Amino acid sequence: MKDIVRGWRHIPQRYNLIGSKCNHCGAVYFPVRVICPECRRKGKLEEIKLSGKGKIHTYSVIHTPTGDFKLISPYVVAIIELEEGTKITSQIVDSDGDNIKIGDEVELVFRKIREEGEDGVISYGYKFKLKK
């Protein structure tokens, strides 16, 4: 039940990349923050829907996965710099790492994240793919 509630609570950020923007310094954060670490009490954070467009800041190809990830091995995990300025860690889908380089443009996709066993809840959310 704990996993169900935790997953449900994260739906806005996982489905639609809802982050935070400080109305004082303009900094954008993902995931959502309550307080801007730069402005503290001077700043007020507002919700922002991130565009889902960005570039690969750095990446790693995973060849020795654990658990369920064996089904998709080898797979790519990247730190992506979104066009709003914040960075996000995500899998790059439909790639085994051969066609990827730092600086490549990527865009948001909607994929399954994990299943809680054969009869548990299915979690969905953001991943990224190379922009064509």
Partner 1 sequence: MAGIVGYGVYIPYYRIKVEEIAKVWGDDPRAISRGLVVQEKSVPSPDEDTATISVEAARNSLKRAKINPQKIGAIYVGSESHPYAVKPTATIVADAVAATPELTAADLEFACKAGTAGIQVCMGLVDSDAIEYGLAIGADTAQGAPSDALEYTASAGGAAYIIGKGNTLADFEGTYSFTTDTPDFYRREGKPYPRHGGRFTGEPAYFKHVLSAAKGLFGKMGTDASDYDHVVFHQPNGKFYIRAARKLGFKEDQYKTGLLTPYIGNTYSGATPLGLAAVLDIAQAGERIMAVSYGSGAGSDAFSITVNDEIEQKRDLAPKVQELVDNKCYVDYAVYAKFKGKLRMAGLTQH
**How near is the Cβ of 23 to partner 1 at its closest, in Å?**
22
Nearest distance from residue 112's CB to partner 1, in Å?
Answer: 4
Work out whether the CA dihedral 8, 12, 16, 20 comes out positive or negative.
negative
Indicate the residue among 32 and 35 with the shorter CB distance to partner 1: 32
Are 120 and 112 in contact by the 8 Å Cβ rule? The answer is no
Q: Which residues contact 129 (CB under 8 A, 6 or more apart)?
A: 92, 93, 94, 95, 106, 107, 109
- Residue 78 CB, nearest distance to partner 1 (Å)? 16
Closer residue to partner 1 (CB): 35 or 97: 97
Cβ neighbors of 40 (< 8 A, separation 6 or more) are none
Which CB, 57 or 114, lies closer to partner 1? 114
Helix, coil or strand: residue 15:
helix
Binding site for partner 1 (CB under 8 A): 11, 15-16, 49, 67-68, 70-72, 93-94, 109-115, 117-118, 122, 124, 127, 132
